[in-house]
């Protein structure tokens, strides 16, 4: 077994790891983790003991080439992020690209991605959608929001709890208070919550209670 394996990790419930993912993690030469502390909890839960190294947005440009060189020499590595599938609003793209350029085998295992259960459970059309991840914090934010006003596909966004109300307010301003949406938080965890309704209704609901957990916002596209 050689090359790079992209291993999705649970977005909350540790029971969501696949048998195959656990097997691969137990066989690789090195596990690359966005946060070694978070990954250590997962590995301990499944009784996996393999070498662990940090790989995140602050060091990936510096170490990607050396990792690829080791894989070219025969090493097998697994890349994990804190939750979900590597590369989806998390580090991963750069290492995958460099592996492909070097002819190193890359394999992505299927598994958890937060936006999929949020979309499927939203009650909003899911046959065509635009995944935008996190909105830009400053530069380009208003430009993207304006662009979304003409998006006919279902729109999917990630957001942090501290910025949820601000983002919902901006979406109301650009898309209209009556646009249908669904906000999911704490997916797969004990306190999972899915709130559905208009942007205004969902905004009003979350303005009256503390907001915790990572959040997925699903918004109906424009009807033209």
> What Rg do the C-alpha atoms of the chain give, in angstroms?
19
Q: Using CA atoms in the order 86, 87, 92, 95, what is the torsion angle rounded to 10 degrees? A: 130
How do residues 111-126 score in pLDDT, each as one tens digit? 999 999 999 999 999 9
Domains and CATH numbers, the chain: 3-108 (3.40.1010.10), 115-219 (3.30.950.10)
Dist. CA 204–CA 49, nearest whole Å: 47
pLDDT: which is higher, 89 or 199: 199
Dist. CA 43–CA 62, nearest whole Å: 26
**How many C-beta neighbours within 10 Å does residue 76 have?**
17
CB 96 within 8 A of CB 106: yes
Give the mean pLDDT of 206-219.
94
3-state SS, residue 158? strand
**Residue 224: pLDDT over 90:** no
Give the model's pLDDT for residue 56: 95
CA distance to 3, 32, 48, 199, per residue, from 96 (Å): 10, 13, 24, 37
How do residues 25-78 score in pLDDT, each as one tens digit? 999 999 999 999 999 999 999 999 999 999 999 999 999 999 999 999 999 999
Contacts of 204 (CB under 8 A, 6+ apart): none
For residue 181, what are its two tokens? 């949406």
Give the model's pLDDT for residue 210: 87
Contacts of 171 (CB under 8 A, 6+ apart): 145, 179, 181, 199, 217, 219
**Residue 223: pLDDT over 90:** no
């Amino acid at each position: 077994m050689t090359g790079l394996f992209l291993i999705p990790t649970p977005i909350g419930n540790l029971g969501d790891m696949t048998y195959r993912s656990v097997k691969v993690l137990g066989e690789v030469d090195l596990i690359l983790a966005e946060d070694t502390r978070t990954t250590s909890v997962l590995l301990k839960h499944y009784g996996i003991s393999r070498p662990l190294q940090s790989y995140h947005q602050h060091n990936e440009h510096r170490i990607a080439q050396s990792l690829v060189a080791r894989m070219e020499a025969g090493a097998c590595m697994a890349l994990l992020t804190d939750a979900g599938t590597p590369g989806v609003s998390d580090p991963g793209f750069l290492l995958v690209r460099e592996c492909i350029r070097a002819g190193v085998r890359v394999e992505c295992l299927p598994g958890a991605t937060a936006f999929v259960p949020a979309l499927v459970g939203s009650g909003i059309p899911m046959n065509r959608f635009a995944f935008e991840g996190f909105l830009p914090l400053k530069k380009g934010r208003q430009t993207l929001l304006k662009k979304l006003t003409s998006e006919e596909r279902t729109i999917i966004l990630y957001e942090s709890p501290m910025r949820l109300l601000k983002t919902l307010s901006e979406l109301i301003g650009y898309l209209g208070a009556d646009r249908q949406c669904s906000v999911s938080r704490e997916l797969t965890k004990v306190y999972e919550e899915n709130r559905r309704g208009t942007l205004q209704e969902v905004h009003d609901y979350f303005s009256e209670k503390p907001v915790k957990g990572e959040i997925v916002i699903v918004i109906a596209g424009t009807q033209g």
